[in-house]
Amino acid sequence: MSRSYGAEADTLIADARYGYVSGLVREVLKRPAVERRMVSEVIDAVALNRWLGIPIFLGVLYGLFQLVFVLSPPLTELMESGFGWLAERASGVSPQWLGALLADGVIDGVGSVLTFVPPIFLLFVALSILEDSGYMARAAFVVDRLMHYIGLHGRSFLPMILGFGCSVPAVMATRVIENPKDRLVTILVVPFMSCAARLPIYVLFAAAFFTSHQGVVVISLYIVGMLIAIAAAWFLRKVVVTGPSGHFVMELPPYRLPTLKGIAIHTWERGQQFLVRAGTVIFAIMVVVWLLDYTGVLEPIGRAIAPVFAPAGFGQWQPAVGLLSGLMAKEAVVGTFGTLFADAEGTAGLGRVIGAELGWTPLIAYGFMLFTLVYVPCVATLAVIRKETGSWKWPLFSAGLSTGLAWGIAVLVYQIGSIFTA
């Protein structure tokens, strides 16, 4: 069927149904808003084009991240100055250990995460605009053909896009997928989409090692995450969760001008999760990290784990404990570095200190970012996978698959890159 008609049977049936309905509507319905309909059709003729649709979508994502990096630095620097002032004041608190806890553990640790509030909120603003305008639904249609090749359909792409914000609601959003096998595969690949909790890690190292190309580096990580999700879905659909895929029939919403109220509500709904995590989970993790470091326990733990990461180039104890804390929440990776390198000034300063003390190169930094992109989801995501699948089998499978992929990718990037940079 696909060889004769250029598409799968379910796609042809859906096209025929929509074609019939469209013709019937033209015969019986009068549209007063002709100009708006014509403008939408002109836009869709380009945005939904078989060959231009995906490049346009990638271009939109690139513009989105460039906007974030252009607008966020002044706000980030202002917050860094504020936390620096607080840390300086807190360091004088008596007794000395309490001052060190407040300055190095709480303010430098949690503060190093909170300084990324501006770029994260700007990212959520941009995503809200794309969703409210009606473009995100069209992005699902653009990738529907590609998704069919891997055994899924466009409806699976919508939870994956939500994964750019947080994997927990993205996994829960898979409930709209009727086919149980499609839903399971989508649940397992959603964590490969780069959530907002990973953005602080990218910004930290991109600012320090890729100053002139921050936007390109960050968008490359998001694209790599999507490609890994697609490849993993193909593998799972062919080997682990076999069977026919479901159908994708969805009416495109009209283009709308997003409202400030709608954007504000959607941005806050997503952003408050980040703030709550920083004030609770990240706070607790940073206190524990500081106590373990203060008592001399943290370094032996890191040194015991570090050899595993040596083939990837970051076999020191500090990144090892950073990745360990990231099991609870990915933002904690940056918070841990902020606590261990408490004398660094600002985001770029922290990245430069890490590079200088650990002897990192841009190649190692990029490999580390790739590892944090792919490795085991946070415990909250694993818990919701357990809830949605009704078994511990799949969250454990997700943890093993993602960590193995992360290690293999980071090692390949470092080993092959070292050949060309030697």
CB 130 within 8 A of CB 144: no
Do 410 and 371 form a contact (C-beta atoms < 8 A)? yes
| Torsional sign, CA 81, 86, 88, 89 | positive
Q: What pLDDT is attached to residue 91?
A: 81
DSSP string, 249-291: --PPPPP----HHHHHHHHHHHHHHHHHHIIIIIHHHHHHHHH
Sign, Cα dihedral of 382, 383, 384, 390: positive
Which DSSP state fits 308?
Answer: G
Sign of dihedral through CA atoms 126, 67, 155, 135? Answer: positive
- Non-local (6+) Cβ contacts of 365 within 8 A are 205, 208, 209, 210, 351, 355
* DSSP, res 312: G
How do residues 81-130 score in pLDDT, each as one tens digit?
888 888 888 888 888 888 888 888 888 888 888 888 888 898 889 888 98
9-18, 61-70, 127-136, 181-190: least confident range: 9-18
Q: Is 185 within 8 Å of 152 (Cβ atoms)?
A: yes
Q: How far apart, in whole angstroms, are the C-alpha atoms of residue 196 and residue 117?
A: 10
Give the DSSP letter of residue 153.
-
Supply the pLDDT for residue 5: 44
**Rounded Cα distance, 19 and 24, in Å:** 9
Length of the chain: 422
218 vs 285: CA distance, rounded Å: 26
Neighbours of 7 (CB within 10 A): 15
Q: How many CB atoms lie within 10 A of CB 245?
A: 19
Structure tokens at 394: 């799949």
Region 336-363 average pLDDT: 82
pLDDT computed for residue 301 by the predictor: 95
| Number of CB atoms found within 10 A of residue 188's CB | 25
pLDDT at 37: 54
pTM of the prediction?
Answer: 0.84
379-383 LR contacts (CB < 8 Å, sep 24+): 379/327, 379/328, 380/168, 380/329, 381/167, 381/168, 381/171, 381/191
Model pLDDT, residue 46: 85
Cα 184 to Cα 398: distance, rounded to the nearest angstrom: 11
Write out pLDDT tens, residues 301-325.
999 999 999 999 999 999 999 999 9
